[in-house]
A and B are shown apart, each in its own frame.
Chain A
Amino acid sequence: MSYLTLSKITKQFGDTVVVDDFTLEIAKGEFVSFLGPSGCGKTTTLRMVAGFEIPTSGKIILDGADITDKAPNQRNVGMIFQSYALFPNMTVAQNIGFGLNVRKEAKETIKQRVDEMIALINLEKHANKYPYQLSGGQQQRVSLARALAIHPQVLLLDEPLSALDAKIRVSLRSEIRAIQKKLGITAIFVTHDQEEALSISDRIVVMNAGLMEQVGTPFEIYNFPQTQFVANFVGSLNTAKAEVSDPATGLLNVDGIQFITATDIKSRKKGDAIRVSIRPERFSFADNQKKDNVLDCTVENITFLGSVVRIQVKIGEAKFNMDTFNNPFLELPKIGSKEQVTCSKEAVLVLDE
């Protein structure tokens, strides 16, 4: 049962189509991320839900009511901004109480709700401080409390973590998710950071150039990207041109090297040009395990990335990255040495060329 429905939303600025035919159904209590590079239309879509932009065509239905043309201050939708947007002339408590204040709620009600919210974000000691006296992470928590104080039907988060330090970003991320789950509130989270989207969401909408590329759970998006854009944007990926050798058995030919895939390619013909993609962590050096693909390769380069070591290997003429977890007992091959790598047939994804 859909709680928030965006149906055939299109938004144009002049001649530029920023969002094109966007349709999405979000269930109550769901946490959905819009993921994509800047300019992909994710923020514009969010702003249409908030009412700051009006769709050129299409409808937005929230809990059965059409809110497409409603003024922002007539919607009951909480928004969190990248720059926090706290009112500098108000204390933490006054900021949080603002929404109830303009609704002319009773003083007692406001105070009670504000206390509740301040406890929720653990800023009891800072209730009477001004925004400029708080750190970025604290300010964003206040902003979260301010948006939640009005009991919004939907919570909108516009890159809320982008302005913060790496460490705070990770801890606030889980805090936001925990609060969202606790309150059971429906949330839309806009980000360009794939790790953020993967870790926080129930579902991810990957967008590019105003179009939806793929909608799915983080697991689906990461493991079964349906388009080359998604495959490239989410996680790091090896792709190579290939052609179909045998549709029935899933045999592919990459520059003369045979790969076998678990992807169903029965609908394709022998000789069709396609593209294979394999995540770096799905490769490993040949061991006793029986694997579907066992491939001769040359080690070209080795890069330390902290917890992971990335090894570039050349299989036939195609270059692939393989990632292996770092540990002190790791025995790395020499650059230029001949090795064998393996991967399962499920790891070999087939995308349209």
Chain B
Amino acid sequence: MSALELLGGGFLAAFELWAFLTIVTGLLIGVVAGALPGISFVNAMAMALPFTYVMEPTQSMLFLGGIYVGGVFGGSISAILINVPGTPASLPATWDGYPMTKRGEAKRALTIAVTASATGGLVSALMLAFLSAPFASFALKFSQPEFFAATVLGLVSVIAIAKDQPVITMVSLLLGIVVGTVGVDPLYGQARFSFGIPEMESGIRFVVVMIGLFAIGEVVDLLATNRDLRPKKADGKAVGARLKDILYVKGAILRGTGIGCMIGLIPGAGATPGAVIAYGIEKQVSKRGDKFGTGIEEGLAAPEAAKNATTGAAMVPLLTLGIPGSAATAIMLAAMMLQGVNPGPLLFIMDPSMVYTIFAAMIIANVLMIGAGIGVAQMFSTLMRTPPAILAAFIIVLSVIGAYGVRNNIFDVYVCLAFGVLGWGMKRVGFPSAPLVLGVILGPLAERYFLTSLANSRQDWTVFFTRPISATILCLALVFILWSLAPGLKTLFLRRRS
């Protein structure tokens, strides 16, 4: 049977009442969990895992797939509305989405975000359906040096958000990486920078840092400026997105989707580097790149498309090779194994109907996400009409619960509050906090891949440059740095000549 026929069968199975309701339920849970800071969709997937015991294997995958697709988008709702990313991958949504909210264009920002996310997710789901096999053989060539190179690419993409402060951005990024080294190291098992505090040995979780830096500083500023976040009407026109707005960002959506599909295929890379790299590239490509960070539509659309485009792509190594590329796909792998299903090339031969039903469900989930996303966003948008004092109090309480919930530990609350005070101070003096957060997220991954690459190659440093894919990605990272710094260097050169 051809892939098209199998996909048709998959659609028929996915549109059966119970299967369809399962997808919708998963999607709604994912969007809501993703939108709550600290209660990530990965936590929701982990909490949903026991419920899958009573389901059929295919139904369990539809349920978890729905949470996955909805959750990756859901994080952007809180990022756009209250400047607190619900998930790490939603970090770029705060850079251009939240300034739109401050202008009273929350509804427009959310519509652009959900459309871009759904397009990215839909394209990657189609790619999953038709291109799984060839990509699987490509993904097999990836090992630790390639993962390290991909993480480096994600880290250097921060240069693109540097505006005119590359040195300060690098300091912020490196501070984040240093924070990420606190606790037991990934290879030798020895605790670093614990300063005699037992809780520090478990490390500092990026979620805690992220909540502290973004939520607390923002809430305090809300209090100090008496800012009104209620949706406004500009010049008598409705502030929701029109078709013209969506068409205007179609290039950004397509570029973001392409980048997300490529990054998502790399096991371990995930949605965060995908979104950040897409933002960085869009900043260079866009005619309004110099205005990024002030509420530019392309700056919101590209990373949104990229992060959801990683969802289908991340399923390729999971289904074809049995390699989970992220925490979310690892939970899906666990669910499959609990059901007695072993993912890998044999699954396509033994149970193609299940595989293609999952593909169809991913496509359906991305289409339904437009409705679910707008519905949940509308609910959150209505919340914005509450008085700022009440809103701020609940954001703080939810942030504290989010930090506590990471490990059910009060120490994480203290760390969160410390980073909150720090984040407020950073904001006051104009020190960028986004690179620091990126450093805390990607730093530990980079260290792990770096050390294991060297350990596997008997400490041979050339391993990163002798492997073709790794060398290509590192070259890309170098090109990216030069590309980002080129305008500044050109100005400097011209000033010197004149």
A binds B: no
Question: Chain A interface (Cβ within 8 Å of chain B)?
Answer: none
Question: Chain B interface (Cβ within 8 Å of chain A)?
Answer: none
